[in-house]
Amino acid sequence: MSSSNQVTVRYVPEVTPGTTPADDAGWKELGFISENLTASPQTNEIDEINSDRMDTDLLSNGYSVSGGVQGRLRYSMWDDFMEAALGGTWTTNVLKVGAVSRHFSFEKEFGDLTNKFLAFKGMKCSSAQMNFDRQNGVTMDFQFMGLSTVTDGSSSLVGSGSSASPTTNEIMNAAGDVGTINVGGAGSTICFRNISLNINNNVQPRMCMGSEGPSAVTEFASRITGSLEVYLDDDAFAWLSSLIDQTTEDVEWTVTDGTNTYTFNMPKIKFSGQLPVIGGGNQEIMLPLDFTVLKDSGTGSTLDVTRSG
């Protein structure tokens, strides 16, 4: 039997989509909470009529490759996947939304079994979710869509290359590790309980005759949405007009482990949702709002991430 605590997940960037670099020294292991990297056969029931009333086969239509990894925010651990999710490149430690396409090979090693590996190739980031929650910390979820899988692996794709251990930078939380949240370019007294970011790259597989798996995965428009929840006060009350009149707001916040920082800047957002309602007595009045992040003419991007460490 195999234990989940003995599983290692590692990845390496690909130069050619679907081709794992041989004996590469750039493999990195992830510290993760969970993962759902998988491949699924696509089948249809056979519609042949048999007098014995029994199925004789399933029609195979190839397979799909998808899934991702979920974990806590540590400085530098998810930087490659942030690039992939936003389609940008860290330039002087600033990441903006772009149109750069990136692919990865992933490998799962079952450490308590004898030479047992699963591999997933040509993995492109299809979506990402970043949650900053006062009670549950900061969590990251990166999802991918891929080209092929290797299920009979008896040796590691790392080969004679090397794989770096997960970073030991401290886990960042959403309590003491988040500083003043800026609204309108200045520090705000609004009390935030959580902020959630959702990045959807609208990735679709290209399914061609003669290929068991996708021949390519293509991304289309990037859409960034999210939600936030704040305690209703005088400053937050002003957002009700922004909601109804559909005017824009901006929100920026920084999270730090005491040495390293990430700053997330949404310079132009529009709210959706509803006005606050009173559900009963003896309750704080909350203002939950959904939002869409729009391209800002000043920054030239929808979302900017700045790192320092």
| pTM, two decimal places | 0.93
Q: 278 with 285: CB under 8 angstroms?
A: yes
Q: Residue 206: what pLDDT?
A: 83
- pLDDT value at residue 48: 80
The predicted pLDDT at position 231 comes to 93
Which is it for strands 163-164 and 27-29: parallel, antiparallel or unpaired?
Answer: parallel
- Tokens representing 143 are 């999802």
**Confidence band of 71 (pLDDT split at 50, 70, 90):** very high
Is residue 58 predicted with pLDDT exceeding 90?
no
The arithmetic mean of pLDDT across residues 150-177, rounded, is 93
Please write the tens of the pLDDT for every residue from 108-162.
Answer: 999 888 889 999 999 999 999 999 999 999 999 999 999 988 888 789 999 999 9
Count of Cβ atoms closer than 10 Å to residue 107 Cβ: 24
Is the pLDDT reported for residue 212 higher than 80? no
Question: How many percent of the chain have pLDDT more than 70?
Answer: 100
**pLDDT tens-digit readout, 235-260:** 999 999 999 999 999 999 999 999 99
End-to-end CA distance of the chain: give it in Å, rounded: 41
> Nearest 5°: phi and psi at 79?
-60, -40
pLDDT tens per residue, range 268-292: 999 999 898 888 889 889 999 999 9
Determine the average pLDDT of the residues in 154-172.
95
Average pLDDT, the chain: 92
In contact, 163 and 10? CB cutoff 8 Å: yes
pLDDT computed for residue 289 by the predictor: 96
Instruction: Give the best-scoring range by mean pLDDT among 4-8, 52-56, 177-181, 265-269.
Output: 265-269
User: Residue 303: pLDDT above 80?
Assistant: yes
- Domain ranges across the chain: 4-41+58-308
pLDDT computed for residue 101 by the predictor? 95
Q: d(Cα 269, Cα 245) in Å, to the nearest integer?
A: 13
Give the tokens for residue 19: 């081709």
Give me the mean pLDDT over the 20-45 stretch: 92
Q: Determine the Cα–Cα distance for residues 156 and 205; give it in Å rounded to an integer.
A: 27
Residue 185 has pLDDT above 90, yes or no: no
Q: Mind spelling out the 3-state secondary structure of the chain?
A: CCCHHHEEEEEEECCCCCCCCCCCCCEEECCCCEECCEEEEEEEECCCCCCCCCCCCEEEEEEEEEEEEEEECECCCCHHHHHHHHCCCCECCEEECCCCCCCEEEEEEECCCCCCEEEEEEEEEEEEEEEEECCCEEEEEEEEEECEEEEEECCCCCCCCCEECCCCCCECCCCCCECCCEECCEECCCCEEEEEEEEECCEEEECCCCCCCCCEEEECCCEEEEEEEEECCHHHHCHHHHHHHCCCEEEEEEEECCCCEEEEEEEEEEEEECCCCCCCCCCCCEEEEEEEECCCCCCCCCCEEEEEC
Q: Which residues contact 49 (CB under 8 A, 6 or more apart)?
A: none
